Amino acid sequence: MTITTCIFDAYGTLFDVAAAARQAAREPEFPALKDRWADVANQWRLKQLQYTWLRALTDAHTDFWEVTQNGLDWALEATGLDGDPALRGRLLDLYWQLQAYPEVFEMLSALKAGGMQTAILSNGSPDMLAGAVKSAGIGAVLDDTLSVQSIGVFKPHHRVYDMVGARFGCARDEVLFVSSNGWDAAAATGYGFETVWANRSGEPTDRLPWVPVHMVSDLTNIPELAGLK
């Protein structure tokens, strides 16, 4: 069936989640972060994801902002940087100001010009996502931003992917789903979406029952994969 709807994960897919630590590391107030920012960013993101999975499995859902703070606290302690409250506050402030990757606006604009429906489907809370969309300046090329907060469970629960059909009235095979998380793209494949893994860092494929249909290094060719010329 023809693709009509392009759905995107947010953090790491459209928005550069390492940008907060990278920016803070450039600021003279935080010299200890200068050579540790990449480690902090990676640990922060990993724990953020792990906590969503554990909360989904244990039926202990919470706001994504709490998960984000919990992940940062773990990362700062793991890297020995937990003694600076100002650093913690600055990193959290910057997380509300994430920028989109360079190709995102042009790619989304091409999808809209080609008649596609476009939306974010994210673990992020509505206020976090609204802040990121505004900061990145991509609101005009999105039809909606869907947050799991409305259903109370994180990805990759099937109820999250159900939100797309409920919002847009499309069949599963009309959806091109794009995520930078291989496990997210794989689960969406199992759900019935056409999927794209935006594997920016060249990671191995997750050993799961399903695999992403397509793999790309950035989002430049998404309109082509959606069937646009």
Residue numbers annotated as active site: 9
CA distances from residue 92 to 16, 64, 70, 98 in whole angstroms, order as listed:
14, 13, 11, 11
| Closest C-alpha to 110, from 141, 136, 139, 134 | 141
Phi, psi of 29 (to 5 degrees): -70, -15
If one counts every other C-beta atom within 10 angstroms of the C-beta of residue 84, the result is 14
| Closest C-alpha to 17, from 31, 37, 34, 33 | 37
| Residue 140, token pair as written in the block | 């005009």
Cis ω for the linkage preceding 212 (within 30 of 0): no
- For residue 155, what are the contacts with CB-CB under 8 A and spacing of at least 6? 52, 56, 123, 148, 184, 187
Cβ(119)–Cβ(177) under 8 Å?
A: no
